[in-house]
């Protein structure tokens, strides 16, 4: 995979991306209940529910779930079958087992609180790179790279990096995202990047470059202009 020279030009570009995303986010961030909390438990519940499911489908179920189950202990008391019943409308029934098994481990190993350690989080049932990073970034405001197909798409286009199915697990994308969020408010810039990918830098061959405030530094856009001018 292509490498990036982390020179003065690179870090200047990182600062521009961060600044422009935060400016864009001030007017355009979507509002969801899991974004209004710093409680790692509530964020973990949301991330499990959001897996392969649209946010608008999750919202009501998420709020109802938290009323019934305000902590990991309440999940265990209710039992595995009750959790399955509460989540059946979301499909992907494995999520209920994941949440129940996670609750058991958190209670037994960590006294009911999610650990502030990525390796320990990733060792839990069903918690991979994304969910562990999301818990640390969104719950503790730590500069953990939250990489998925959407955030990878934006960074890949801007820096002219090849995007594959494994990019969200690559060290190159991890390092670029880390540099982007390595400042005082990684949580907000991560939300801004996620929503920017959803609204502006959309999938496909025709992202909304005409309204993109990052197009002047985006290699995808610059290459697109060259291609269009030769047609």
Distance CA(202)–CA(221), nearest Å, equals: 13
CA distance 9 to 93: 47
**Percentage of the chain with pLDDT > 90?**
83
Q: What letter does residue 116 receive in the DSSP assignment?
A: S
Distances (CA, A) of 192 to 12, 55, 150: 19, 15, 12
Q: List the one residue out of 5, 11, 43 whose CA is nearest residue 183.
A: 11
Domains of the chain with CATH codes: 8-29+144-230 (1.10.1670.10), 39-139 (1.10.340.30)
Q: Provide the whole-model pTM.
A: 0.92
- Can you list the alpha helix ranges (DSSP code H) found in the chain? 8-28, 40-50, 55-68, 72-78, 80-87, 94-110, 118-122, 129-134, 140, 149-159, 171-181, 186-199, 219-229
Q: What pLDDT is stored for residue 230 in this prediction?
A: 61
**Residue 116's closest CA among 38, 37, 182?**
38
- pLDDT for residue 229 is more than 70: no
Mean pLDDT of 152-159: 97
CA triplet 63, 187, 95: central angle to 5 degrees?
40
Each residue's pLDDT tens digit, 10-68: 999 999 999 999 999 999 999 999 999 999 999 999 999 998 888 999 999 999 999 99
């Amino acid at each position: 995979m292509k490498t990036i020279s982390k020179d003065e030009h690179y870090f200047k570009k990182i600062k521009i991306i961060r600044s422009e995303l935060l400016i864009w986010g001030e007017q355009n961030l979507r509002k969801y209940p899991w974004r209004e909390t710093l409680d790692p438990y509530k964020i973990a519940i949301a991330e499990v529910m959001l897996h392969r499911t649209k946010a608008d489908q999750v919202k009501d179920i998420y709020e109802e779930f938290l009323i019934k189950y305000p902590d990991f202990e309440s999940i265990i008391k209710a039992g595995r079958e009750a959790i399955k019943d509460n989540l059946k409308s979301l499909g992907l029934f494995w999520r209920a087992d994941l949440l129940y098994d996670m609750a058991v481990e958190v209670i037994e190993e960590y006294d009911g609180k999610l650990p502030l350690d990525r390796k320990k989080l990733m060792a839990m049932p069903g918690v991979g790179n994304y969910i562990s990073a999301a818990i640390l970034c969104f719950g503790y405001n730590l500069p953990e790279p939250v990489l998925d197909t959407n955030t990878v798409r934006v960074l890949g286009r801007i820096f002219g990096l090849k995007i594959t199915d494994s990019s969200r697990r690559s060290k190159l994308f991890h390092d670029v995202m880390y540099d982007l969020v390595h400042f005082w408010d990684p949580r907000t810039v991560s939300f801004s990047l996620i929503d920017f990918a959803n609204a502006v830098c959309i999938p496909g061959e025709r992202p909304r470059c005409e309204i993109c405030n990052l197009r002047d530094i985006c290699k995808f856009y610059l290459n697109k202009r060259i291609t269009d001018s030769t047609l």
